[in-house]
Chain A
Amino acid sequence: MTIALQAQPPRDAARARRFRWVAHSMRLLPIVPALLFLLLFFIVPVGEILQGGLFSADGTFGLAQFERIARTPVYAKVLWITFSISFLTAAISVLLGYPVAYLLSRLSPRSRERWLLWIMLPFWTSYLVKTYAWMLLLSKTGVLSTVALALGLVSRTNGTIPSLTGVLIGMVHAMLPLAVMTMLPVMRGIDDRLAQAAETLGAERGTSFFTVFLPLSSPGVAAAGLLVFISSLGFFIVPALLGSPKETMIAQLVISSVLELFDMRFAGALSTVLLVCSIVIFLVYDRLVGLSSLTGEVRDKRRGSRAHGVKLALLIAAGRLTAPLVKRRMTGAAPAERGFGPLRLYTFAVLAVLVAPVLSVIPYAFTRSDFIAFPPKLFSFKWFGTFLQSPVWQSALIRSFEVGLGTAVLSLALGLGATLALTRMSQRASKPLFALLVAPLIVPRIVIAVGLLYLFARFGLTGTNAGLVIGHTVLAIPYVVVTLAAGFRQFDWRLDDAARVMGASPVRRIATIVLPLLMASVTAAFLFAFIVSFDDLTIAIFVSGGINTTLPKQMWDDIQLAVTPTLAAVSTTLVVLIALVVFISSRLRRTTR
């Protein structure tokens, strides 16, 4: 009897331990598919690139490929141009975007939603469409030249493109929405009352901004700078279409060495250079700012250093200097409306410059003439007819839809499981996993594309829809995870507890509580994934094969041959489609709130 009693507790404890261990690992299970997927289709191919660039054909370690890059002045120059353009793009985008993000973060949710529509439209519009629009605006026979000539501002013009200015205009226009969207969550997290507190303590409005808001928003600025810089590194559409050969960027070299020179090893080496640079920049960023700021979290900074004190003094000085420029706060005005006059005007101007080029494409689609000229001769639907009746465009359109939906479903399934598991982990465990999930975002697309080209060639996936869906899902997972993680962070898990106490099974809790409340972010994630796929050109160029193209690939092939009104019709269709998606997602968000 006594023996039995003594034996009881340890057995119970062991059972309890096992029970807890099983329960614990069950909760982490949903992240496994996403991790496996990324391991197979992201880490392996990118790792191969890294290895391929570092080892020569006979398998010996060497830097021969890099020597080739470094020795050939053309390549060194391309690297230099790539970095300068990317840096300038990041700097200008963040600088121009900061006031916009600031204004949006201080608005009421309702008006923010309204303004955001006008950022989302250019944000999700295809890079190809945006670049095409700038071609029409900036070329020798384009709108700006024609208008300037007509007004007598200039007597003779060659157009703004091809030139570095043209490239920068196109790049900043393409990246500004991304910069604003990245800074916004961090800024929204900054409590309005902090600025008020600073003002009651005697800080002028300017000083309050420089000493409180600016330092607190710096993680968002850094995140925006990082994302824009790394995205720009892998750009080729804008420099190819708006730049001269002098503005050739590294991604263009990669494409030509694969598609024209068939020199895979050299393409690998170029990709390795890009990859190593991205990783270094990223590590520096994570050290300085912390990865979590990508979803709008602000990490506690270590405090008390002398450098910090100096920085604060500088910020206070900056505030004092700008004090005469800042309007006094009007008492009695509603908080959102206070003193935003010039800021609103500026934001309005920025949004106009973002949206107008995208919309300027539309008239050309309805031209009666057989070529693009300003002003377009209206009015005819014939180019839409050409677009929709052409079997090439038709199959490209259908394929883009198929691949887009496949990508959206797959990446949502993988991302949802991963995010669910992430929210239940300790911070120590979730941090590196989150980093892995968003890693495709910070590796230049072209590197992933080249890696997948190697991999798919072996499995016969090149040119298949499956190959495209896989490639696009790699790109879409970060967007899905970041969007869902932001939604999940606002989710009150006690609601789930409450349902659990009332007897709801895990599946029913997800169906009745978690999903309905997270519907807005789930839908947004789905749409993001769809658009990432629908808009992608990089993966499509390498993976889609020669014949079976997607819509962007078909546009890219056409655009390089001639700027036809058919392209304007395609672009218009895309703009309308994106506008529809943006509108639907904003409506959804509003109704669920």
Chain B
Amino acid sequence: MSAKLETIGIAKSYGETVALQPTDLTVQAGEFLTLLGPSGSGKTTLLQMISGLVAPSAGRIEIAGRDVTHVEPGKRGIGMVFQSYALFPHMSVWDNVAYGLRMRRQSREEVKRAVDDALTMVRMNDYAKRYPQELSGGQQQRIALARCFAYRPSVILLDEPLGALDKKLREHMQSEIRRLHKELGATFVYVTHDQDEALTLSDRICLMNQARIEQVGTPVDLYDRPATRFAAGFIGHSNLLEGAVDHERGPAGEPILLTAGGRVPLPQRGAAMPGSPGARHCLLLRPEAPRLVEPKSGFLDGTISDIVFFGSDTRVQLTLSDGSHLSVRCERGLSPCIGDTVGLVWDPHRTTLLSA
């Protein structure tokens, strides 16, 4: 019950405004792909064109090899979970879930079996007679999911389905959605602007920005090897060190970036290769990569300007000599004080080189 989904040069513009530039995207059968990006990045437009609710200005959409560009949404074999659910307020939970099946003119027994199955899957059997207004946000969310997959669509589209829930419930529902994805085996396309949600849920993430795809890859890919500064900034916390490649190499022959805070070794891989001496570059340093050491014994020195407690760890903010800031994760045992000067060292392989 899953299908491969493909968009070929699909694009949308409203008059002069480009909502989505021509976009090629392939979602494998059974894959969980997340469209991640800030608002206005085109992710919802792309999802709506896949659903058929918005007609593309150009390009094609194929589901399971069939061109569905001009096919009505209801005949594409898709299901959709809407932002804030769009449950029918005048129908009971049971009727909501049965709606898609009835539209497919299935027999009474089939409808009953499918609705019961769907409600069992989301553990909401006891609520079949209730009305949507009588349910909590999380319960409504479950019904929206049940309604969507009751008729077993091969592609399920989810448009920021957890946006209206509080943090704790959201995390719980994330694991529910992952479980449902495994049980159903359908292809999931999930829209969110929450990077944590994308990292947790997805097989692959399609990062979008300014009406086009910025980068597609697994969560690990995107976190460890962001292709652009935007990707580095949007996913996870990031420190960017800018500078030019030094004429001298380091003790092990590695290239060195000359930054405001000091001489920093460069990795031998990354999205960009270190150019000849003088070339300007940008180095991505995740907060968890460096270790705090005595001043003058690391790559960089900085003054601690702030300490923020996060529960699982503590973030230390360092101010470098040029006034720029670095955020560094600090283990619980250490107890630095604001105003201390500290040094930083790290494994160069845990940094990523980006083009400036």
Which residues does A use to contact B, with CB under 8 Å? 12-13, 15-16, 19-20, 23, 492, 494-495, 497-505, 508, 512-513, 516-517, 592
Contacts and interface: CB of A to CB of B under 8 A. Distances in A.
A23 B60 CA distance: 18
A503 B75 contact: yes
Given A497-B86, A498-B86, A504-B99, 7 more contacts: A499-B88, A501-B53, A501-B73, A501-B79, A502-B79, A503-B104, A516-B90
26 contacts: A15-B70, A16-B69, A16-B70, A19-B55, A20-B55, A492-B86, A495-B86, A495-B88, A497-B86, A498-B86, A499-B103, A500-B53, A500-B72, A500-B73, A501-B51, A501-B73, A501-B80, A502-B99, A502-B100, A502-B103, A504-B74, A508-B103, A513-B88, A517-B89, A517-B90, A592-B90
B78 interface: yes
Contacts of A501: 51-53, 73-74, 78-80
Given A495-B88, A592-B90, A500 B74 contact: yes
Interface string B71-94: 011110011101100101110000
Nearest to B95: A512
Nearest to A24: B55
B151 interface: yes
Contacts of B89: 517
A454 to B, nearest CB: 45
Query: What's the dominant secondary structure at chain A's contact region?
Result: helix
A502 B151 contact: yes
Nearest to B144: A498
Contacts of B78: 501
Interface in B323-354: none
A592 B74 CA distance: 28
B135 interface: no
A16 B55 CA distance: 9
A12 B69 CA distance: 10
Contacts of A16: 55, 69-70
Instruction: Identify which of A19, A495, A501, A592 gathers the most chain B CB atoms within 10 Å of its CB.
Output: A501
A9 to B, nearest CB: 9
A13 B83 CA distance: 31
Contact of B103 (A15, A20, A504): A504
A503 B103 contact: yes
Contacts of A504: 74, 99, 103
B25 to A, nearest CB: 19
B58 interface: yes
Contacts of A12: 60
Nearest to A503: B74
B82 A498 contact: yes
B103 A498 contact: no
B70 A498 contact: no
Nearest to B60: A12
Instruction: Identify which of B55, B73, B78, B83 gathers the most chain A CB atoms within 10 Å of its CB.
Output: B73
A186 B108 CA distance: 47
B88 A19 contact: no
B110 to A, nearest CB: 15
Contacts of A492: 86
A495 B87 CA distance: 7
Nearest to B51: A501
Instruction: Identify which of A23, A492, A505, A508 gathers the most chain B CB atoms within 10 Å of its CB.
Output: A492
Given A494-B82, A497-B53, A502 B74 contact: yes
A15 B60 CA distance: 13
A401 B192 CA distance: 57
Contacts of A592: 90
A164 B88 CA distance: 55
Contacts of A13: 58
B278 to A, nearest CB: 46
Contacts of A517: 88-90
Nearest to B53: A497
Contacts of B90: 516-517, 592
B45 to A, nearest CB: 14
A556 to B, nearest CB: 44
B74 A19 contact: no
Contacts of A23: 55
Given A20-B55, A497-B53, A503 B86 contact: no
Contacts of B69: 16
A501 B104 CA distance: 12
Contacts of B58: 13
B53 A503 contact: no
A494 B75 CA distance: 18
Contacts of B74: 500-505
Nearest to A508: B103
Contacts of B55: 16, 19-20, 23
B258 to A, nearest CB: 50
Contacts of A503: 74-75, 100, 103-104, 151
Nearest to A512: B99
Contact of B82 (A497, A508, A513): A497
A492 B73 CA distance: 18
B73 to A, nearest CB: 5
Contacts of B72: 500
A174 to B, nearest CB: 37
A98 to B, nearest CB: 34
A16 B99 CA distance: 30
A505 B102 CA distance: 12
A517 B53 CA distance: 21
Contacts of B104: 503
Instruction: Identify which of B69, B80, B86, B100 gathers the most chain A CB atoms within 10 Å of its CB.
Output: B86
Nearest to A502: B100
A181 B79 CA distance: 43
B53 to A, nearest CB: 5
B24 to A, nearest CB: 15
Interface in B218-245: none
Contacts of A512: 99
A321 to B, nearest CB: 45
A7 to B, nearest CB: 16
B100 A19 contact: no
A62 to B, nearest CB: 48
A499 B82 contact: no
A500 to B, nearest CB: 5
Given A16-B70, A20-B55, A494 B86 contact: yes
B109 to A, nearest CB: 19
Given A19-B70, A492-B86, A498 B80 contact: yes
Instruction: Identify which of B58, B90, B151 gathers the most chain A CB atoms within 10 Å of its CB.
Output: B90
Instruction: Identify which of B78, B89, B151 gathers the most chain A CB atoms within 10 Å of its CB.
Output: B89
A502 B52 CA distance: 12
B276 to A, nearest CB: 43
A333 to B, nearest CB: 27
Nearest to B101: A502
Interface in B35-87: 51-53, 55, 58, 60, 69-70, 72-75, 78-80, 82-83, 86
9 A-B pairs with the lowest CB-CB distances in the bound complex, closest first: A503-B74, A502-B100, A503-B103, A494-B86, A498-B86, A501-B80, A501-B73, A504-B103, A500-B73
A516 B147 CA distance: 19
A592 to B, nearest CB: 7
A16 B89 CA distance: 35
Instruction: Identify which of B78, B82, B83 gathers the most chain A CB atoms within 10 Å of its CB.
Output: B82
Nearest to A504: B103
B146 to A, nearest CB: 12
B152 to A, nearest CB: 12
A512 B74 CA distance: 15
A19 B147 CA distance: 30
Contacts of B80: 497-498, 501
A146 to B, nearest CB: 54
A565 to B, nearest CB: 48
Contact of A499 (B60, B70, B99): B99
B88 to A, nearest CB: 6
Contacts of B82: 494, 497-498
B111 to A, nearest CB: 13
